[in-house]
Amino acid sequence: MDGSSTPLKPPPGAAADWTIDQGWRNYCDQDHQVWTTLYERQAGMLQNRACEPFLRGLDALDLHGDGIPDFARINAELERLTGWQVVAVPGLVPDDVFFEHLAHRRFPAGRFIRTPDQLDYLQEPDVFHDVFGHVPMLTDPVFADYMAAYGRGGMRALSKGHLAHLARLYWHTVEFGLMKTDAGLRIYGAGIVSSRAESVFCLDDPSPHRLDFDLMRVMRTPYRIDDFQPTYFVIPSLEELLAASLQDFEPLYARLEGLEDIPIGEVTGDDGVIHRGAQTYHEARNAI
């Protein structure tokens, strides 16, 4: 996620903005089978776990289990709904390239897919994480605006040296966010919906904290890239998430310079606590 290991120049065959052709015809049967297996594992269990906008998006884009979707097909509908596009990239792209795409309503998606022995874990975002995980939410007009605002904010954060703070916002919302709904807590984060184990853990396990989303709080909170999150942040609505992102971040960054990070897994007196986790999962792991 920090992009530090990403090469600075696009690889041969990629355009200056790092995009490549999806090459949909080049996927083999095994590739399509992996998509279908993952789709079937997730789509059913998410029915009462993912938020409505995600489930609606999954239907609207018809990302069913028929194999890896052709981006051209998705894009026709996505463009109509929110003006977004999915573009294929070789893998992680540099931060500035990533933000530039988002600001222009293009979501960079890996085109490769994991192998059957990597169904549960992989390091780089593949087409299943990127398309199944991220793209359904982009059919929601409010979330679509949030992602574009994030891209614009990313470009400003880069120029002001505050990318580390803004990246935490992405992580705790776009990747691992939960939402309050009348039916209870629901998932909207792409890193969760694309993971079978975390889709259960984040909502049902007594271990993690579930705290009210607060923009400053989130930007002070580091995250785990290699394991379940010890803390999930819960937004009251997509509208409030968007509103938070539309303010001027410059005074916030100035204040952050005088504030310490809040250690991962800690709860403070200022937090709105929905569920104070027992933290048994991470304590057991650290003890090993």
Q: Which residues bind ligand HBI (CB under 6 A)?
A: 1-3, 89, 92-93, 95, 98, 108, 125, 167, 170
Residue 2 partner contact from Fe ion, ligand HBI, none using kind-dependent CB cut-offs of 5 to 8 Å: ligand HBI
Residues 183-212 that bind Fe ion (CB under 5 A): 190
- CA 108 to chain CA centroid, Å, is 12
Count of positions (residues) in the chain: 288
In terms of Cα–Cα distance, which of 131, 147, 136 is closest to 70? 131
Residue 98 partner contact from ligand HBI, Fe ion, none using kind-dependent CB cut-offs of 5 to 8 Å: ligand HBI
Residue 55 partner contact from ligand HBI, Fe ion, none using kind-dependent CB cut-offs of 5 to 8 Å: none
Between 69 and 125, whose beta carbon lies closer to Fe ion? 125
Between 198 and 203, whose beta carbon lies closer to ligand HBI? 198
Residue 1 partner contact from Fe ion, ligand HBI, none using kind-dependent CB cut-offs of 5 to 8 Å: ligand HBI
**In contact, 211 and 271? CB cutoff 8 Å:** yes
**Collapsing DSSP states into helix, strand and coil, what is residue 58?**
helix
Contacts of 151 (CB under 8 A, 6+ apart): 98, 99, 100, 101, 102, 103, 104
Secondary structure element (H or E) that encloses residue 271, with its range? none
Residues 118-157 that bind Fe ion (CB under 5 A): 125
Residue 34 partner contact from ligand HBI, Fe ion, none using kind-dependent CB cut-offs of 5 to 8 Å: none
Distance CA 65, CA 60 (A): 14
Look up residue 201 and give its two tokens.
């853990």
Between 19 and 82, whose beta carbon lies closer to ligand HBI? 19
Look up residue 55 and give its two tokens.
């489930």
CB of 146 to Fe ion, least distance (A): 14
**Collapsing DSSP states into helix, strand and coil, what is residue 250?**
helix
Between 96 and 205, whose beta carbon lies closer to ligand HBI? 96
CB of 49 to ligand HBI, least distance (A): 22
CB of 118 to ligand HBI, least distance (A): 18
Count other C-beta atoms under 10 Å from residue 60's C-beta. 17
Between 107 and 282, whose beta carbon lies closer to ligand HBI? 107
Residue 95 partner contact from Fe ion, ligand HBI, none using kind-dependent CB cut-offs of 5 to 8 Å: ligand HBI
Look up residue 205 and give its two tokens.
């396990």
CB of 283 to ligand HBI, least distance (A): 29
Q: What is the 3-state secondary structure (H, E, C) of 61-98?
A: CCCCCCCCCCHHHHHHHHHHHHCCEEEEECCCCCHHHH
CB of 148 to ligand HBI, least distance (A): 14
For Fe ion, the binding residues (CB under 5 A) are 125, 190
